Structure 1
Amino acid sequence: AIFPQETDGEPSEKDALQPGRNIVAAGYALYGSATLVALSTGQGVDCFMLDPGLGEFILVDRDVKIKKKGKTYSLNEGYAKYFDPAMTEYLQKKKFPEDGSSPYGARYVGSMVADVHRTLMYGGIFMYPANQKSPKGKLRLLYECNPMAFIIEQAGGMATTGTEAVLDVKPESIHQRVPLILGSPDDVEEYIACVQKHHKSS
């Protein structure tokens, strides 16, 4: 992610400790059977693929938009023992829908970039929540959560900590950790509703 410099002279820690709303550009690279770059300068998201013959990146998807609602969820369920009641209820809703609709499929690579990219392209929700072992979350706000949140919001999706938009969090330290839930807006809003329900009852 790239932030504007707020101070004169040499860049300082203060320049880095800005909320994600101040980001001017963000992107990620994904290497596999093809090398892909997703990039946003605040005017939508474009995807580029490396052409090995030309040695250049070619625009392959312009102004990518995430689906309003997906069909998959992505998180490490190995930590289910440590999930809070809101996350447990949300997963139950995805696996056993009360309205008779099809359950969500589970997709989890374990690489955040790969999991977020799939969520961007096909819709759904990616979750790395806080839990009993990591009460502040595991992913770093400034250089893991903010760039992905910026990309997802630019594509029409949502990114939240559960209590506020990721891009609105005011960082206090370079390596600060936060929970991260992002993806299709309908799916993220349903998760937020579960969080709010449990906060009211606690």
Structure 2
Amino acid sequence: MKKNNDTVLELKNVSTFVNRNAPNETKILKSLNLKVYAGDFITVIGSNGAGKSTLFNTISGDLLPDEGQVFHNGNDISRDPVEKRPKFLSRVFQDPKMGTAPRMTVAENLLLAARRGQKRGLRFRNLRGNKDRFAKLAASMGNGLTQRLDTPTENLSGGQRQALSFLMATLNRPDILLLDEHTAALDPKTS
């Protein structure tokens, strides 16, 4: 049995409402309790409208819970804004257009991901100094991203863009990785 301090993510009595205080108020997450430990791999299955995206949005901070608490490593993050969570959380969306900056190149997107969650000031970005590292990383996907490092992300195929999103999300090995139908835009070999 694991101890409480091994808990990476915990949801305690989390409830989320839609149309709060309106006649058609609906409770989406209903007093949800969940503990996730380091190394856990959890699959969330449900039909459309079951609350899967609401759960992910609540964990990521895009949606704050109406009731209950969310903890990361024992720290209450229930009211922390989404901007504070990239230090320990990454996400890959079903839509390959989400999670990347379309007018920035593949290499520039990877550089942003490499610095996710860090304090930023004014300094040279050192994109050239990271190109070899990014080329090796892109080669691991086997879908032509290596030859597209200087291509704006908006000019990639949906599968290449989704592969880039996955690389960006896993670059810094986050404590929590949320994958929302992350292989939907990928061919079977790449997925």
TM-score (norm 1): 0.27
TM-score (norm 2): 0.28
